[in-house]
Structure 1
Amino acid sequence: MNKYLRRALAPLAAATLGLTLLGGTDAVARPIGWTAAWAASPQRPSEGFTANWAEQGFSRQTLRQVVRVTQAGEQARIRLSNAYGTSPLRITGATIARAGKGAAVEQGSVRHLTFDGRRSTVIPARGHTASDPAQLTVGAEESVTVTLYLAETTGPATFHAQGFTDSYRADGDHRADVSGRAFGEKTQSWYYLAGVDVTGGARSERPGQGGVALFGDSITDGFGSTSGADRRYPDALADRIDRPVVNAGIGGNLVLNDSAWYGERGTARFERDVLDQPGITTAVVLEGLNDIGFYEAQAAGYDRPTYFPAPRVSAAELIAGYRSLIAQAHERGVRVVGATLLPLGGSDHYGAHAARVSDEVNEWIRTSGEFDAVADFDRLLADPADPERIAARYDSGDALHPNDAGYARMAAEVARVL
């Protein structure tokens, strides 16, 4: 495990401890129990995603990103990732604030962030860092902005491709602006920002609850949901349960194979993106459709280079991948819920091999007893007249990804089994 993550991001089972000083000349240190209130899984820069700034990076620009936290708190910190950087990344300055409309922030809420007491910091290539605590009261399901001023040329940026919400860019230093007028450009990805943690909220005072990390691919990431409306399946779950929820999905991700476009394989990134999130006690695993579906799409001649040379994956191989995730979670004291693969009939991921493997894998998830609980999305979202297909009322239009109603239905199922 990355040394920084061992030091700063252990889950609730071995609670992360920050240090803050109480006032006065005889100040003493007391521990801070951080809880991940929002997260995004880092990806390497890729020119394959349209309308993003990852390949070109930033220079003398301010980047303002809006995220919705799922836990109330009285203090906040941010986590930044240069995981795929090939050179050190200098953050000239950063702020956090309660969000207003668009790129604007709430008057009086801007807080300058420090890193080991300084307003600037340098993150080494392939490194990570966390800010010091900032006094900022936020509510659960409230949006905050994180604003980074990047005075020096960054080079290609570690990012999260599919944010499905607007991020903003301005020339010059606008980190403390309340107005959003300077932010004339926008895109729907997140850059360098890997997490927002809080402490001091009501939920964090309830022992034994802990956070829930939803791990998966584009279905977890929120593809097909209404953009800018926070209606992804993790958002819908956060609305239903009195526990923090973080989204550890990457669109196109696979359990067993790395992809230059869609991130490291699930078995490799699970520790970083789930187990090292502070306060996480439960993981929900929904991944595998791309492992079997990319092969079918490639075999059918779909002209998408993102499918790369897709291997033919068996049910036994995919089950071995799930067993690796379960073992990793249990070793860290994290409960793991297995979710069955959604129906994929009629999509570009469908074919005889994918149908057979999906059925075999789903039956194993339901009956093996190896997961601590099961969320049966396959049966939940299937068309009763054609169980190989997702029901029309839950289909976003591609026969693969749910719409807002489908994501809400999935959230209700997870809430039931937690």
Structure 2
Amino acid sequence: MTTDSTASWTAAFRSAVVSPHETIDLFELRGFAGHTLRQIIRLDGGGSALRIRLTNRYGKEPLHIGGAHLARRTEGSGIDTGTGTPILLGGAAEFTIPAGEEAVSDPVERAVTAGEELALTLWLPDDTGLSTYSAVPLRTGYAVPGNALTAATLDGTEGLEELATRHFISGADVLAPAGTRVAVAFGDSWFEGTGTTPDTDHRFPDLLNDRLRAAGSRGWVVNQGLSANRLLTDEIGERALARLDRDALDTPGATHVLIHFGLNDLGIPGQEAYPDPAPIPTASDLIAGLTALAERIHAAGLTATVTTVGPYKDTVFEGYATPEGIAVAREVNDWIRGADSPFDTYADFAAAVADPADPDRIHDDYDSGDGLHVNDAGAQALADSVDLTGLGIRLAG
């Protein structure tokens, strides 16, 4: 491979995954058998080569992949067949990922750029069992019966399904120049993008990347947001304190971690959908958890930025917003803004999207309609609230 000898493998796309075997099923659960699965990856950064990360982390059966294929996406499920290439594992076009494990593909010798859309197609000849998946990727995927691994399009194919969830993909890395810096957006649905328009890349990390590119950044942000995820306790996905190493600190090329947690710790206990919720934490509980994150991020030699807890007073989710929880959020936000916070910098998400007349609720212009998540304009306001010079990603010049 003819590449810069100083280049290194660096995360250029991430998709946080959850188990289909959790107690609470808020999202579509499914497996595949005799299907072709085509899913879209939009790269946050570029490099001289690419490798794909496939996951069977929560699978209870071996994941047999009869073939994997990568090509530039055109529109819908279409691909530019002239750019197609097989994805190999250990030189093999057909391979199996054991239950509970993950795999990193052989490198693909192809220069790729930030913003490039790639279609990864998997031929799944055997029953996969319920799949390891990403709940809210906000990127339509496609599944059809039979082997259509290299088909120019799946549109119009009999039995075509459009998928709102992403399956078996946890990321992509690029061979990036030395000195490239990557921030991991490690948080909940406010990072994953719930409430923004699907298939438009208007999530907060996407829009922050737009700002970084416009400023001539030599780095980018990858998205490890996980909807309904909590800081202190497990429910949907492992709690932040448990998944920090795998989903943030061990990310290749990571220099910085950006954090948004607390909403689900405060809101989920009041919802009837959760049979045995933990009690609402105190401000001291959340501050201790956030402090532990900061200390572990610093111990790994990375920069840590925290965001204030977003407003949520008028959410439509019954039982989510309580006077007690909202009071805790205010106290935690005061601590984040104060001198005692252990974080290097903070972004004031709450102030960016709050209604000035009632700061505990999202402003109507930024509300997705559920009172808990921001819309596209709100995500832009969040991205605009981040100080790029304090983010820890090197700018040009």
Please, what TM-score do these two structures have when normalized by structure 1? 0.86
Indicate yes or no: 2:360 matched with 1:388.
Answer: yes
The offset of 1:30, in angstroms, is 6.4
Indicate yes or no: 2:169 matched with 1:193.
Answer: yes
Matched residue SS, 2:368:
coil
Distance 1:308 1:196 in 2: 36
The 8 Å contact of residues 394 and 405 in structure 1, kept in 2 or not, is answered as yes
| Residue in 2 that maps onto 1:314 | 282
The offset of 1:31, in angstroms, is 7.7
| Residue in 2 that maps onto 1:357 | 328
The 8 Å contact of residues 6 and 178 in structure 2, kept in 1 or not, is answered as no
Quick check: 266-275 or 348-357, which moved more? Answer: 348-357
The 8 Å contact of residues 294 and 307 in structure 1, kept in 2 or not, is answered as no
Among candidates 96, 101, 105, match of residue 75 of structure 2: 101
The offset of 1:205, in angstroms, is 2.5
Distance 2:327 2:68 in 1: 50
Q: How does 1:239-254 map to 2 (within 5 A)?
A: 239-241=210-212, 242=217, 243-254=219-230
Distance 2:122 2:7 in 1: 24
| Residue in 1 that maps onto 2:309 | 341
1:259-282 Cα offsets, whole Å, 9 max, x none, are 1xx111111011111112111111
1:336-356 Cα offsets, whole Å, 9 max, x none, are 101000112212432221121
Unaligned runs of 5+ residues in structure 1 are 1-20, 24-28
The offset of 1:162, in angstroms, is 0.9
The offset of 1:32, in angstroms, is 5.7
The 8 Å contact of residues 383 and 391 in structure 1, kept in 2 or not, is answered as yes
The 8 Å contact of residues 62 and 169 in structure 1, kept in 2 or not, is answered as yes
Distance 1:175 1:136 in 2: 20
Distance 2:69 2:7 in 1: 20
Matched residue SS, 1:316:
helix
- Percent identical among aligned pairs is 37
| Residue in 1 that maps onto 2:207 | 236
Distance 2:334 2:303 in 1: 20
The offset of 1:93, in angstroms, is 1.3
| Residue in 1 that maps onto 2:194 | 223
The 8 Å contact of residues 193 and 204 in structure 2, kept in 1 or not, is answered as yes
Distance 1:379 1:49 in 2: 29
Q: How does 1:254-403 map to 2 (within 5 A)?
A: 254-259=230-235, 262-295=236-269, 297-298=270-271, 303=272, 305-306=273-274, 308-347=276-315, 348=317, 349-367=320-338, 368-403=340-375
Distance 2:164 2:283 in 1: 35
| Residue in 2 that maps onto 1:149 | 123
The offset of 1:91, in angstroms, is 1.6
| Residue in 2 that maps onto 1:136 | 110
Q: 1:81 to 1:32 in 2, by over 3 A?
A: farther
Segments of 4+ moved more than 6 angstroms: none
The 8 Å contact of residues 87 and 93 in structure 2, kept in 1 or not, is answered as yes
The offset of 1:308, in angstroms, is 4.2
Q: 1:338 to 1:98 in 2, by over 3 A?
A: same
Distance 2:362 2:5 in 1: 51
* Alignment-mate amino acid for residue 163 of structure 1: P
The 8 Å contact of residues 280 and 325 in structure 2, kept in 1 or not, is answered as no
Quick check: 59-68 or 181-190, which moved more? Answer: 181-190
The 8 Å contact of residues 80 and 130 in structure 1, kept in 2 or not, is answered as yes
Among candidates 42, 45, 48, match of residue 25 of structure 2: 48
Distance 2:253 2:2 in 1: 24
The offset of 1:65, in angstroms, is 0.4
Distance 2:346 2:360 in 1: 20
1:102-159 Cα offsets, whole Å, 9 max, x none, are 1111131111011111112221221111000012332211211111111121111100
The offset of 1:172, in angstroms, is 1.4
The offset of 1:307, in angstroms, is 6.5
Indicate yes or no: 2:135 matched with 1:158.
Answer: no
Distance 1:35 1:252 in 2: 27
Q: 1:366 to 1:117 in 2, by over 3 A?
A: same
Distance 2:26 2:33 in 1: 20
Distance 1:350 1:42 in 2: 27
The offset of 1:395, in angstroms, is 1.1
Indicate yes or no: 2:55 matched with 1:84.
Answer: no
* Alignment-mate amino acid for residue 179 of structure 1: T
Among candidates 5, 10, 15, match of residue 35 of structure 1: 10
The offset of 1:369, in angstroms, is 3.3
Q: 1:175 to 1:30 in 2, by over 3 A?
A: farther
Q: How does 1:197-212 map to 2 (within 5 A)?
A: 197-199=173-175, 204-205=176-177, 207=179, 209-212=180-183
Distance 2:332 2:275 in 1: 22
Distance 2:188 2:72 in 1: 29
The offset of 1:415, in angstroms, is 4.5
Question: What root-mean-square deviation, in Å, do the aligned CA atoms of Structure 1 and Structure 2 show?
Answer: 2.0
Among candidates 172, 178, 195, match of residue 152 of structure 2: 178
| Residue in 1 that maps onto 2:394 | none
| Residue in 2 that maps onto 1:167 | 141
Q: 1:31 to 1:155 in 2, by over 3 A?
A: farther
The 8 Å contact of residues 97 and 136 in structure 1, kept in 2 or not, is answered as no
Distance 2:256 2:2 in 1: 33
